[in-house]
Amino acid sequence: MDNLLLMLAPLFSSKLLLVLFFGTLFGLILGVLPGLGPTTGGALILPFTMTLDPLSAIVLLTSIYCAGTYGGAITAVLINTPGTPAAAATCLDGYPLAQKGEAGRALGMATVSSTVGGIFSVVILVFFAPILAQLAYEFGQPEYFALAIFGLTMLASIGEGSPIKNLIAGAFGILISTVGKDFMTSIDRFTFGINELTEGIGFIPVVVGLFAMSEMLTQSTLINQVFNRIALKAIKLPSKDDYKKTWKTILRSSGIGSFIGVLPAEGGTVASLIGYSEAKRFSKKPEEFGKGSIEGIAGAEAANNAATGGAMVPTLALGIPGSATTAVILTGLIIHGVRPGPDLFREQPDFLYGIFGSMLIANILFFIFGFFGAKIFARITLVPNKILWPMIFAVSVCGTYSLNQSIIDVWIMLFFGVLGFFMRRYGFSVVPVIIGLILGELVEGTLRQSLVIFEGNWLMFFTRPIALTFFILSLIALAFPLIRSRKIKKKK
Amino acid sequence: MSNVRKQKRANKSLPFFFKDEFKVSFVIIFVSAILLITTFTFDIVPPILNRGIQPATFPKALLILIIAMTLIIYYLATKNPWKVEKKLPKSFFLTLLSFVIFIVVSKTLDFFLAISALSIFVSYCWGEKRLFYLLLVGIIFPIIVFIFFETILGLRFPPGIITNIYYS
């Protein structure tokens, strides 16, 4: 009961409500604009959160996360371009349905299923995160090392790119985290005599570079691209018949999305693809998928929004990001001096339940904004890239500079922008780099401390049951893409 | 699907050193090898003070892992070639050039001026010819961002021609 009251606290704080309102609105705008999204937006807004108290800062980031994930559906339905990668599966049926003159119905279903998925995942978060945090009390350094390894091996099975390319990108992310003074011995590593590098490479320049700047370079190759926009008259709430057809799909996808979200390093993109394919598998009319099936939209959208709450579970309970955007939220927590993990649940329940409550409210707010304002948000896509991206550049540069007031950070951002562009061009996803960078310190730190505990005996890792379980799960995660590709080959 | 096959076939006919998979693998292995050599220059903790592994051991292991995985992707690519990417358009190289201009101007003249120059340059290269919009992205918006960061976040921008005038 106390926890429920703590969850409702944001409703009684005008400041938090204002932050939620702004975060949801900003998240929707970011979600609608192709190339931007909650990860880039979160990274861009991170410096501004320094002016806020920790709860308001995290509420702002989580509301951007929830609304941005939904916002991608608007562009997916109307211009056949996913505003966010998580909305890619929504294009498959959203756009064909819009082409049939039912854009309002498609967006109505996307809005309702996103909201249900989002709220479902917050409920999972409220019940599951404290249990996971309780389990984490049993974790020592070796267990955290094994968990981080499990998180990294999960990169092999994320949606984009080949498994090995994802693992290379993840290893590269960890390598970036080793730049600077070694935390155990203070010995310089990869600093090349540059003083600014002794503190290491910051998270913000890397994220803004890999997401915003590389996208700017990608957009520079698409300046002649023409989008076929479908006019939207008004969003329609789903009919009784639509609800009858889709309620099972929405619930199933909400469960799938929440589960996928909880897995370290996975996120909305994988969730929506699995949610979509499961909706097709269970459908009475699978032949309609890809031609404007309302179940397809519901399956993809409920799953990707359900992944938001799911991804917050390992982030808050263990300090392991569940997705790229939660990696940004995790950075926000660290910047504000909040250490995620079991102690957070014991010492700051008001803070945690404030976040849970805010996520719940954000899901309701984006439903209202989406329902009444989708037409306006759709118009944002009309802002030409030649105006939009130079503006994003100005904000990116100032935002990156502002954290440490270092021009080197800006150059690092530009370097990662170019690198990110070529990575994406040759099929390397940039998400693993971010996850690797976040987990890098944890992996190295726990490995080295474990070896001190074990007096250098590596085999001792396998004598700890929880660590051993994570290692076995890691092997399964590595083998999974192989098994999957063999199955696909056999089917063919 | 047939386009992808065509692109893959086109890639197959190229000599191996012109293929994307070779170029990408070569760059990764080359850079990793240089970094691996660099790790041998890291200071070594004397055995009496050393607890656990040396600071260079972890990066070394990572780099060896990256090289090994790159060899695997190259081997896999010889069996299943990557599709040939389209040539990059002029606008991409101009945008890349604008990054270089930004670095040079921000280092030598002024940070604000660099943002302004890049914004106008990129906007123009991407096809914006209307003066009002060029001024909007190149001057009005950067001023708003500058003032916003300066007043709300209390940020002090690096000294330069224009910034010095503002601060004085």
Q: Mutate which of B82, B85, B137 to disrupt the A interface (most A C-beta within 10 Å)?
A: B137
Residue A444: which of B58, B152, B158 has the nearest Cβ? B58
3-state secondary structure of A181: strand
- Minimal CA separation from B68 to chain A, in Å: 10
Q: pLDDT: is A104 or B99 the higher one?
A: B99
CB A445 within 8 A of CB A147: no
Strand partners, A189: A180
Cα(A327)–Cα(A316) distance, integer angstroms: 11
What predicted TM-score, i.e. pTM, was given to this entire model? Answer: 0.85
- Minimal CA separation from A312 to chain B, in Å: 28
Cα(B136)–Cα(B48) distance, integer angstroms: 63
Question: Which amino acid is present at B120?
Answer: I
Picking from A74, A69, A53, the residue whose alpha carbon sits closest to that of residue A335 is: A53
B73 contacts on A by Cβ (under 8 Å)? 162, 164-165, 168
Cα(A451)–Cα(A461) distance, integer angstroms: 9
The H or E element that residue B119 is part of is helix B111-125
Sequence-separated (6 or more) residues with CB below 8 Å from residue A94: A73, A76, A77, A106, A107, A110, A296, A297
Sign of torsion, CA A436 A439 A440 A444? negative
Q: Which of residues 288-347 of A touch B (CB under 8 A)?
A: none
B70 contacts on A by Cβ (under 8 Å)? 168
**Cα-atom radius of gyration of chain B, to the nearest Å?**
24
- ipTM rounded to 2 decimals: 0.88
Q: How many CB atoms lie within 10 A of CB A137?
A: 11
A192, A343, A450, B54 from B45: Cα distances, Å:
19, 34, 18, 7
Cα(A344)–Cα(A352) distance, integer angstroms: 8
Asked if B119 and A394 come within 8 Å (Cβ–Cβ), the reply is yes
A402 contacts on B by Cβ (under 8 Å)? 149, 153, 155
**For chain B, domain boundaries:** 2-79, 90-167
Sequence-separated (6 or more) residues with CB below 8 Å from residue B8: B81, B82, B83, B84
Residue A51: which of B66, B120, B152 has the nearest Cβ? B152
CB A235 within 8 A of CB B107: no
CB A438 within 8 A of CB A330: yes
User: Angle at which helices A385-404 and A38-45 pack, to 10 degrees?
Assistant: 50
The DSSP symbol for B82 reads: P
In this structure, what token pair is assigned to residue A315?
A: 């982030």
Q: Is A52 an interface residue toward B (CB < 8 Å)?
A: no
A198 contacts on B by Cβ (under 8 Å)? none
B138 contacts on A by Cβ (under 8 Å)? 390
Asked if A418 and B99 come within 8 Å (Cβ–Cβ), the reply is yes
Picking from A345, A314, A331, A327, the residue whose alpha carbon sits closest to that of residue A144 is: A314
The DSSP symbol for A458 reads: G
Sign of torsion, CA A374 A311 A301 A116? negative
A384 contacts on B by Cβ (under 8 Å)? 128
The DSSP symbol for A211 reads: I
Tens-digit pLDDT string for chain A (492 aa) = 566 666 777 667 788 889 999 999 988 888 887 777 888 888 888 878 888 889 999 999 999 999 999 888 888 888 777 777 788 888 888 888 888 888 888 888 999 999 999 999 998 888 888 888 888 777 888 888 888 888 888 777 665 568 888 889 999 999 999 999 888 888 889 888 888 888 888 888 898 888 888 888 988 888 776 666 666 666 778 888 888 888 889 999 999 888 888 887 667 777 888 888 888 888 888 888 888 888 889 999 999 899 888 888 888 888 888 888 888 898 888 888 888 888 888 888 888 888 888 899 999 998 998 888 877 777 777 778 888 888 888 888 888 888 788 888 899 999 999 999 999 888 888 888 888 888 888 888 888 888 888 887 777 878 888 889 889 988 888 887 777 777 777 766
Torsion of CA A345, A350, A351, A354, to 10 degrees: 120
3-state secondary structure of A188: strand
Sign of torsion, CA A39 A41 A43 A49? negative
